């Protein structure tokens, strides 16, 4: 009897070890590329495990079923598309489907991108009006089958979250979030560094208060790009108008975005600004400067008088 029980214990141990190996060791020990695996709404455990075996992601559907039953997760399997690999164990694959860890793509939206540029990067047409300025530039992890509506929801929710700490300050200044975003979009396209943005913000708010035209070259660039008007210009990798050469003729373009022709802020943002530009718009730095110029290299030169400014223009924008 002792010999029988010993053999039984050994057999049980070997069986358990085999089952654990099947569950916790991958089908392949080679690093294999992930593939998209679809769990359709309404599919049950047995349909899912059978498809996993057919796709070559697991060795045996029985062990997948067994693991799910042991976990008591038969009703927790979630529909969606998943990145799965034969290099992953049954336990890991099951964990993804139980938790709903659906396949995602990583997308980085740079600061200063327009709605059009975001649409081109995502290859999606985003629905909704007045989105410019409110799609916050950031790195996003989006479902592979994400809808345009979901993209807008995710990006505008992120914008609201980023702006929340500043709402009281903005209201206390007697400004609106819309005005701040417009100003931030100008700063985003005009100058590079946070320190320069603070100074330019101070200059532009000061011009507004004194009834002076903003004369922001980036607004002319925005008009030309959105209306397909051609003209000499110089852009950095992000597409800013650093050192753009704006002609006298272009300053007369009849558009409400033309800050040479019309006083006040333009009617809307000209891009989607990042957090530094937003902060600079909220917290401008006072100075004696009234003018600034961005060289083609992105360096900003400040002047106190128009005479000084014209000398700088002659030097850098000849």
Number of compact structural domains in the chain: 3
Is pLDDT above 90 for 85?
Answer: yes
User: Is 294 a domain residue?
Assistant: yes
Could you report the per-residue pLDDT of 115-134, keeping only the tens digit for each? 999 999 999 999 988 999 99
Please check whether residue 256 lies inside any domain of the structure.
yes
pLDDT tens readout for residues 145-189: 899 999 999 999 999 999 999 999 999 999 999 999 999 999 999
- Chain centroid to Cα 142, Å, comes to 10
Structural domain contains residue 5:
no
**Pair of tokens at residue 241:** 């108008």
In this structure, are 178 and 287 located in the same domain?
A: yes
Give yes or no for residue 213 having a pLDDT over 80.
Answer: yes
pLDDT digits (tens, 9 = 90+) for 249-285: 999 999 999 999 999 999 999 999 999 999 999 999 9
Burial class (CB in 10 A: 0-12, 13-18, 19+), 19: middle
Do 181 and 306 belong to one domain?
A: yes
**156 and 195 within one domain:** no
This prediction has a pTM of 0.80
The pair of structure tokens assigned to 24 is 């916790």
Domain region containing 184 = 174-316
pLDDT in tens, 19-28: 665 676 887 7
pLDDT tens for 29-53 read 777 889 999 999 999 999 999 999 9
* Boundary of a domain, candidates 79, 99, 119: 99
Asked if residue 260 is part of any domain, the answer here is yes
Claim to verify: residue 29 and residue 120 sit in the same structural domain: no
Residue 60: which CATH number? 3.30.1490.480
Least confident of 4-13, 138-147, 192-201: 4-13
Say yes or no: 181 and 47 in one domain. Answer: no
Classify the C-alpha dihedral 176-179-182-187 as positive or negative: negative
């Amino acid at each position: 009897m002792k010999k029988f029980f010993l053999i039984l214990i050994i057999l049980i141990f070997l069986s358990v070890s085999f089952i654990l190996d099947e569950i916790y060791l991958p089908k392949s020990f080679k690093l294999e590329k992930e593939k998209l695996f679809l769990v359709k709404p309404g599919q049950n455990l047995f349909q899912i495990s059978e498809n996993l075996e057919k796709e070559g992601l697991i060795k045996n559907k029985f062990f997948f079923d067994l693991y799910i039953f042991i976990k008591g997760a038969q009703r927790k399997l979630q529909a969606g598309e998943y990145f799965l690999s034969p290099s992953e164990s049954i336990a890991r694959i099951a964990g993804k489907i139980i938790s709903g860890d659906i396949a995602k793509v990583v997308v980085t939206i740079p600061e200063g991108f327009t709605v059009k540029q975001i649409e081109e990067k995502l290859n999606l047409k985003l629905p909704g009006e007045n989105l410019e300025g409110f799609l916050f530039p950031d790195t996003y992890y989006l479902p592979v089958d994400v809808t345009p509506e979901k993209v807008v929801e995710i990006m505008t929710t992120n914008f609201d979250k980023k702006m929340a700490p500043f709402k009281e300050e903005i209201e206390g200044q007697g400004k609106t979030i819309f005005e701040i975003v417009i100003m931030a979009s100008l700063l985003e396209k005009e100058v590079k560094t946070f320190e320069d943005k603070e100074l330019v913000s101070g200059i532009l708010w000061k011009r507004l208060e004194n009834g002076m035209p903003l004369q922001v070259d980036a607004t002319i660039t925005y008009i030309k790009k959105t209306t397909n008007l051609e003209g000499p210009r110089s852009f950095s990798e992000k597409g800013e108008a650093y050192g753009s050469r704006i002609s006298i003729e272009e300053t007369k373009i009849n558009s409400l975005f033309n800050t040479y022709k019309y006083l006040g802020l333009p009617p809307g943002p000209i891009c989607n600004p990042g957090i530094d530009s937003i902060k600079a718009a909220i917290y401008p730095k006072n100075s004696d400067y009234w003018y600034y110029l961005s060289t083609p290299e992105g360096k900003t030169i400040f002047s106190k008088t128009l005479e000084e400014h014209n000398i700088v223009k002659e030097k850098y924008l000849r």
